[in-house]
Amino acid sequence: MKYECPVCGYVYDEREQGRAWDELPDDWECPICGASKSVFKPVGSPEQPISGQPVPRQSAPAAHGAAQPSGGDVKLTPGELSAICSNLARGCEKQYKDEERALFAELAAHYASLVPPQGGGLEALTEAVRRNADEQFAYTKSIAAENGDRGALRALVWGEKVNTVLKSLIERCTRDGEEFLKGANIWVCSICGFIYIGDTPPEICPVCKVPSFRFEKGGEPS
């Protein structure tokens, strides 16, 4: 049988590898993107892979920590506003609009400073990743599909894949503790948010396919 990584598309072929899938240890990881064994799916399984296909319109899930006023409007949290402004800054950077990029970056930093301290540690992060996978992505994709926004659908596909990588990293942290981060470099793709643990970033981002110079190390440009 063959098993496929939903993040980067790597396929583990039992015949080519000479080892059955079930014989691999539980801590085995995708050799391309580091996704955990638990997220792999058999090739040809009925379960749909992550995709940008339109989905039926769904009711909006309650945003964690956000007030839901009447009348259909949604009040965004400082964290959500910071993320939006940060993404707009990235978009301006790609279009060489330096003044606009600086303004949006300043707004992103301002809203980020208003985010209250988050408690709960790993348990809270696990719940956030689960909520993204089970609720947030499905709803947001339905809105993007309804409006024919192909760019948003592509970005959401990237987001789902990055969310899967976060799930894998949480599993690894739960299993090994923080030891696996000791002395390790953490690289983050500045385009899609893919996280890679290793000495150097991958030559090509497994999610959005940008080159390695787009990765940032420890929150600072590499």
Work out the average pLDDT over 174-203.
87
Within a domain: 74: no
26: containing domain: 1-49
Question: In this predicted structure, what is the pLDDT of residue 67?
Answer: 46
Within a domain: 29: yes
- Residue 104 to residue 98: CA distance in whole angstroms: 10
Which of 31, 49, 67 is at the close of a domain? 49
CATH number of the domain where residue 199 is located: 2.20.28.10
Distance of CA 214 to the CA centre of its chain: 16
On the CB side of 221, CA atoms within 13 Å amount to: 2
Within a domain: 217: yes
> Does 120 or 145 have the greater pLDDT score?
145
Within a domain: 84: no
Within a domain: 176: no
Residue 52 pLDDT class (50, 70, 90 cuts): very low
Which of 9, 28, 49 is at the close of a domain? 49
Which amino acid is residue 49, in one-letter code? P
Within a domain: 187: yes
Question: In this predicted structure, what is the pLDDT of residue 49?
Answer: 47
Number of domains the chain contains? 2
Within a domain: 156: no
Within a domain: 95: no
